[in-house]
Amino acid sequence: MCGIIGIYSPKRQVNQLLFDGLTLLQHRGQDSTGIATLDKNELKLRKNNGYVREVYRTRHMNYLSGHIGIGHVRYPTAGCYTKKEAQPLYVNSPYGIALSHNGNLINSSQLASELSARDKRHINTRSDSEVLLNLFADELYTHGDLKLQPEALFKAIEGVNKRAKGAYATVGLIVGYGIIAFRDPHGLRPLILGKREYKGTTEWAVASESIALTTQDFEIERDVKPGEAIYITLDGQLLSHQCTSTQFYSPCIFEYVYFSRPDSIVDGLSVHQARKNMGHYLAEKIKRVMSPEDIDVIMPIPDTSRTSALEMAKVLNIDYTEGLIKNRYIGRTFIMPGQKTRKKSVKRKLNPVTSEFKGKKVMLVDDSIVRGTTSKEIVSLARQAGSKKVYIASASPPIFFPYVYGIDMPNQEDLIAYQMKTPEKVAEKIGADRVIYQDLDDLITAVKTSGSNPSIHDFDTSCFDGKYSTGDVTQEYLKSIAHRHQENV
């Protein structure tokens, strides 16, 4: 999972707009960041490992001049944790292209072999984003001419959609032409189009989440459709084209469970309302499976589960309290590189308020339980703080299957629900008195009723039920990514 943004402005430099947008998308990736701008026909690029606030200094911002540009924050799920895989990535032919990508290609190895053998393109990293960039460049070379026409550009993206399998929301710069943004035919990863009037001119922007646009006074025009391409020319003309004949709109449900900010609207659905609905349905399940009188307080594991925990407390008429204090200068443990790093970070990230635990039966609420490492550490903290009983409620169902479309849970053996098979055994493994999971049907309803988007056919829930939206995920592929993941841990 990564964050991407692209901005066109005819009357002001876009470097600060890109910086501010990436800061608002920082929760989507903390490994590296990059910005590319186009100043006349010169592409300017700055990228490095680290947070947005760390990578860009005054000298870098001054260098990143231009009225059009793209940016990226990276959370790696393919490739490895190195500076050379920071994005945007660049190729000089044809035209000169810089590209930022959110998602994961499931046929990147096959494509890399094709690009090398047939098209004589060298892939220098293990990043599927570099494969996607070279695939796009190859299609542009095939369909383009000395002067790139919009029809040829859209034909190139049609070619990408036919050859690439998996999830991708992409924004790119083409030197001498403008911004291109496109989304995979299933709409697995989000991409939103915004517009703003500034000094009598029109500015355009695309981003992973609405918050990166609305906070900067862009009005949301719409979501980029699955399989659609958006082309913003250097003179500000916006062109769009449906670049696939087959669509099955199935956005990733984990965007609403964990990744997106609660103040974002993703695919027309409110993340905040979705999480509030999750809390309501989880409360109703607790009424069915245990006595609410056995719970003294409901407490969120900050921050993503706070909305669900508040609604649970309201429905169950149980006191809500904040008993885990978060160090906001530690990154999100779910997206940290390597299991050892995640485990070490829990105690540095969360500190218990002893008075809120001592002598109480505490229901901890989390957005999900993935590997169980963090949950085990938090249960231990609650025990040490004096809790009589510690329950955990998960706003999402048990995760039994690897997720292959851009979230770092590729190895089934790492998933605690798969290891332990039942909630009772999960509770025993992490030291809790009880673990209660959301039902999958309730999660789907919670998200579906958080707004209105009749175009959505379904949600991708593959990590819960093993039904992969693209329909072409094989056991051989799952084994290959599990092996690659172990090499990077």
The answer to whether position 258 is within a domain reads: no
The answer to whether position 156 is within a domain reads: yes
Same domain, 77 and 151: yes
CB 74 within 8 A of CB 55: no
Same domain, 134 and 237: yes
CA 486/CA 489 separation, integer angstroms: 5
Same domain, 202 and 319: no
Same domain, 273 and 243: no
Same domain, 274 and 242: no
The answer to whether position 79 is within a domain reads: yes
CA 391/CA 298 separation, integer angstroms: 9
pTM: 0.94
Same domain, 28 and 128: yes
Confidence of residue 215 (pLDDT cuts 50, 70, 90): very high
Enclosing domain of residue 290? 269-488
CB 300 within 8 A of CB 269: no
Q: What is the pLDDT of residue 379?
A: 97
Q: What is the pLDDT of residue 482?
A: 78
Domain-ending residue, one of 247, 282, 314 = 247
User: 377, 317, 369, 311: which is closest to 343 by C-alpha?
Assistant: 377
- To the query of whether residue 243 is one of the catalytic residues in this protein, the response is no
163: three-class secondary structure by DSSP = helix
Please state, for a pLDDT cut of 90, what percent of the chain lies above it. Answer: 85
The answer to whether position 264 is within a domain reads: no
Q: What is the pLDDT of residue 20?
A: 98
Q: What is the pLDDT of residue 246?
A: 75
Same domain, 281 and 154: no
- Catalytic annotation, pick one of 2, 243, 252, 463: 2
CA 28 to mean position of chain CA atoms: 5
Same domain, 406 and 442: yes
Tens digits of residue pLDDT in 301-357: 998 999 999 999 999 999 999 999 988 777 655 555 555 555 556 767 899 999 999
CB atoms within 10 A of CB 351: 14
Q: What is the CATH number of the domain that holds 329?
A: 3.40.50.2020
The answer to whether position 261 is within a domain reads: no
Same domain, 236 and 364: no
What the block records as the tokens of 387 is: 């809790």
Q: Is the pLDDT of residue 480 over 90?
A: no
The answer to whether position 252 is within a domain reads: no
Tens digits of residue pLDDT in 272-317: 999 999 999 999 999 999 999 999 999 999 989 999 999 999 999 9
Question: Amino acid letter at 53?
Answer: R
The answer to whether position 63 is within a domain reads: yes
Same domain, 66 and 204: yes
Q: What is the CATH number of the domain that holds 219?
A: 3.60.20.10
CA 351/CA 284 separation, integer angstroms: 30
Same domain, 218 and 296: no
Q: What's the rounded mean pLDDT across residues 141-145?
A: 92
Q: Out of 6-10, 100-104, 188-192, 325-329, which region has the weakest mean confidence (pLDDT)?
A: 325-329
The answer to whether position 253 is within a domain reads: no
Q: Out of 80-84, 164-168, 414-418, which region has the weakest mean confidence (pLDDT)?
A: 80-84
Same domain, 142 and 212: yes
Q: How many domains does the chain have?
A: 2
